[in-house]
Amino acid sequence: AQSVTQLDSQVPVFEEAPVELRCNYSSSVSVYLFWYVQYPNQGLQLLLKYLSGSTLVKGINGFEAEFNKSQTSFHLRKPSVHISDTAEYFCAVSEPLKGYQKVTFGTGTKLQVIP
Amino acid sequence: EAGVAQSPRYKIIEKRQSVAFWCNPISGHATLYWYQQILGQGPKLLIQFQNNGVVDDSQLPKDRFSAERLKGVDSTLKIQPAKLEDSAVYLCASSLVGTGAGTDTQYFGPGTRLTVL
Kindly state the average pLDDT of the residues B74-91.
Answer: 96
pLDDT of residue A89: 97
**pLDDT grade for B101, boundaries at 50, 70 and 90:** low
**pLDDT grade for B97, boundaries at 50, 70 and 90:** confident
**Per-residue pLDDT reduced to its tens digit, B22-58:** 999 999 898 999 999 998 889 999 999 988 889 899 9
**Does residue B2 carry a pLDDT above 60?**
yes
B86 φ/ψ angles, rounded to the nearest 5 degrees? -85, -5
**Does residue B98 carry a pLDDT above 90?**
no
Higher pLDDT, A102 or B7: B7
Give the whole-angstrom CA distance, residue B10 versus residue B79.
15
**Does residue B18 carry a pLDDT above 70?**
yes
Q: Are the C-beta atoms of residues A10 and A109 closer than 8 Å to each other?
A: yes
CA distance B107 to chain A (A): 7
**Does residue B99 carry a pLDDT above 70?**
no
pLDDT of residue A113: 97
Contacts of B104 in chain A (CB under 8 A): 94, 101
**pLDDT grade for B100, boundaries at 50, 70 and 90:** low
The residue of chain B nearest to residue A41, with distances taken between CA atoms, is B110
Q: What percent of chain A has pLDDT over 90?
A: 71
The CA-based diameter of chain A, rounded to the nearest angstrom, is 48
CB-based burial of residue B58 (10 Å sphere; 0-12 exposed, 13-18 middle, 19+ buried)?
Answer: exposed
The CA-based diameter of chain B, rounded to the nearest angstrom, is 42
pLDDT of residue B63: 95
Tell which of A5, A9, A24, A44 to mutate to test the B interface (max B CBs under 10 Å): A44
Beta-carbon separation of A96 and B100 below 8 A: yes
Total CB pairs under 8 A between chain A and B: 76
Closest residue by Cα to residue B112 from B2, B8, B1: B8
Contact A108/B at CB under 8 A: yes
Q: Are the C-beta atoms of residues B93 and B109 closer than 8 Å to each other?
A: yes
**Per-residue pLDDT reduced to its tens digit, A13-69:** 999 999 999 999 988 777 889 999 999 888 899 999 998 888 899 999 999 999 998
